[in-house]
Amino acid sequence: MTAVRVCSLTDLKDDVPVGFQVSDVPVVLVRQGEQVYALADVCSHAEIALSEGEVTRKGLECWLHGSCFALATGEPSSPPASEPVDTYAVTIDGDDVYVDPSTPTNR
């Protein structure tokens, strides 16, 4: 599979997670300036949509139990999650944001 156009860069606000279905894979995008991170939109602890959480200084926090995941690596930084979530390659071409959900970048 190749990268799929998901949205425009201008559709994403800084530190506001947004969920998308990318080729049947639930993905959450988080923009920080010109950098965009793509993670699996499912908490590894309780299968809750991470896109419903918020970005903190520790990462993307699951709203249900408070687990945080590093934006770049998907690694949990606080319990109860102990397993990382998948992260995906993001390419920005002009104003277009592309994600390749076929191969997680942290596995």
Profile the chain (107 residues) by mean pLDDT over runs of 10 residues.
92 98 97 97 94 96 94 94 96 97 88
Q: Is there a domain that residue 107 lies in?
A: no
Q: Is there a domain that residue 106 lies in?
A: no
pLDDT at 38: 98
What is the span of the domain harbouring residue 25? Answer: 4-100
Question: What is the rounded CA–CA span in Å between residue 101 and residue 35?
Answer: 17
Q: Which residue from 83, 79, 84 is spatially nearest to 66, judged by alpha carbons? A: 79
pLDDT at 47: 86
CATH of the domain at 9: 2.102.10.10
Indicate yes or no: pTM above 0.85.
yes
Give me 47's structure tokens: 């299968």
Specify whether the CB–CB gap between 53 and 18 falls below 8 A: no
Q: Which residue from 79, 92, 83, 87 is spatially nearest to 103, judged by alpha carbons? A: 87
Q: Is there a domain that residue 24 lies in?
A: yes
pLDDT at 1: 63
User: How many structural domains comprise the chain?
Assistant: 1
Question: What is the rounded CA–CA span in Å between residue 84 and residue 45?
Answer: 9
pLDDT at 103: 86
Q: Is there a domain that residue 22 lies in?
A: yes
Q: Which residue from 17, 9, 14 is spatially nearest to 68, judged by alpha carbons? A: 17
Q: Is there a domain that residue 11 lies in?
A: yes
pLDDT at 89: 97
pLDDT at 107: 73
pLDDT at 18: 98
Q: Is there a domain that residue 105 lies in?
A: no
Start-to-end CA distance of the chain, whole Å, equals: 17
